[in-house]
Amino acid sequence: MLSIQDLHARVDERPILNGLSLDVNPGEVHAIMGPNGSGKSTLANVLAGRDGYEVTSGSVTYVGKDLLDMAPEERAREGVFLAFQYPVEIPGVNNAYLLKAALNAVRTHRGEAELDAFEFLAVVKEKMGLMHMDESFLNRGVNEGFSGGEKKRNEILQMAVLEPRLAVLDETDSGLDIDALKVVAAGVNSLRSPDRAIILVTHYQRLLDYIEPDFVHVLSGGKIVRTGDKTLALELEERGYDWVQEAANA
C-alpha cells in the first residue's frame, strides 16, 4: 500500500530524514519509535504534505501512485489521514461543519453520494459513542477550548468518520492520562481492518500496550536503524534508545 524508498527530507535547510525506507501493507500496524529529534514527526508531516518539509530525494508510492506529487487535500481524499500531534484550534468553525465538509469531500472523490445532514448525524453519532464523546462536541468550535485529551479523541473521531486507508497517528498518546489513552486506543483498535494500514509514531512504549503493532521500527538520525516485532518496543523501554543508536553506529 505504502512504499517509502530512500527518503531524504529537510526543514529550513536542515536535513532531517536521511534515507528512510519503509513498506506498509494493508491490514498492518507499524509503530515508529525514536528519541526526540530523530525525525518521527517530520515523517508524518512529509506523508501528509505539509509546507516547509522539503523532500530532496527518494520516493513515496501510495496505492501505486506518487504520493509526493499530490496536494495535501488530494492525499486526504485518497485516504491518507494524519492525526496531529498538536491539533489546531479553529475558533468559530464548528466540529460538525468541518467533519461534514471533510466527509463529503472524501465521498465525492470516491464517487459516492454526499450525505445530507440527517445521514451525516447518524454516522457521526454512532462513532461518537465509540469515542465516549458527548454530543455537545459537535457544536463547539474545532478544538476550541478542548483539553489535550479531548483534542486527541476528536482526532480519532475524525479518523473513524473519514475511514482512511492509511492512518498516521503522530504522538497521539502524548499528554494523555491512562483513561484517555485507553479510550483512544480502543478507538484505534476498532478501526483496524484487513484493508487499512496504521502507522503509530510514538516516543513511548506505553501506547503499544494497548495497540499491538505488527512491526516496530526504530528511527534514528533520520532513518530506520532497526526493525522488529513488539518485543523490540519492550526492549527499548528497558534499555533506552542509546543502545539501538550505538548498535547502529557500530
Partner 1 sequence: MSTRSPDVEDFIGKKYQHGFVTDIDADTVPPGLDESVIRLISRKKKEPGFLLEWRLRAFEHWQTMQEPRWAHVHHDPIDYQAISYFSAPKSKEDAPKSLDEVDPKLLETYEKLGIPLHERAILAGVAVDAVFDSVSVATTFKEKLAEAGVVFCSFSEAVQNHPELIEAYLGSVVPYTDNFFATLNSAVFTDGSFVYVPKGVRCPMELSTYFRINAANTGQFERTLIVADEGSHVSYLEGCTAPMRDENQLHAAVVELVAMEDAEIKYSTVQNWYPGDENGVGGIYNFVTKRGDCRGDRSKISWTQVETGSAITWKYPSCILRGAESIGEFYSVAVTNNLQQADTGTKMIHIGRNTRSTIVSKGISAGRAQSAYRGLVKVLPGAHGARNHTQCDSLLMGDRCGAHTFPYVEVKNPSAKVEHEATTSKIGEDQLFYCLQRGISEEDAVNMIVNGFCKDVFRELPMEFAVEAQNLLSVSLEGAVG
Residue number with CB closer to partner 1 (110 or 125) = 110
Q: How many CB atoms neighbour CB 57 within 10 A?
A: 11
Q: Which amino acid is at 224?
A: I
Do 33 and 233 contact (CB within 8 A), yes or no? Answer: yes
Residue with cell 489535550: 148
The alpha-helical segments, DSSP class H, found in 62-116 are 72-77, 95-110
Residue number with CB closer to partner 1 (80 or 244) = 80
Residue number with CB closer to partner 1 (98 or 248) = 98
- Rounded Cα–Cα distance for residues 103 and 86 (Å): 21
Do 97 and 117 contact (CB within 8 A), yes or no? Answer: no
Q: How many CB atoms neighbour CB 21 within 10 A?
A: 13
Residue number with CB closer to partner 1 (76 or 218) = 76
Residue number with CB closer to partner 1 (151 or 226) = 151
Dihedral of alpha carbons 45, 22, 7, 2, sign: negative
Q: How many CB atoms neighbour CB 39 within 10 A?
A: 25
Q: Using the 8-state DSSP alphabet, how is residue 181 labeled? A: H
- Beta carbon of residue 228, minimum distance to partner 1 (angstroms, whole number): 30
- Beta carbon of residue 158, minimum distance to partner 1 (angstroms, whole number): 7
- Beta carbon of residue 35, minimum distance to partner 1 (angstroms, whole number): 25
- Beta carbon of residue 238, minimum distance to partner 1 (angstroms, whole number): 36
- Beta carbon of residue 241, minimum distance to partner 1 (angstroms, whole number): 29
Q: Which residues bind partner 1 (CB under 8 A)?
A: 48-51, 71-73, 75-77, 81-82, 84, 87-88, 90-94, 97-98, 100-102, 104-106, 108-109, 141-142, 158, 162
User: What is the rounded (10 degree) CA torsion for 24, 26, 29, 33?
Assistant: 20
Helix, strand or coil, per DSSP, at residue 147: coil
- Beta carbon of residue 203, minimum distance to partner 1 (angstroms, whole number): 22
Residue number with CB closer to partner 1 (106 or 197) = 106
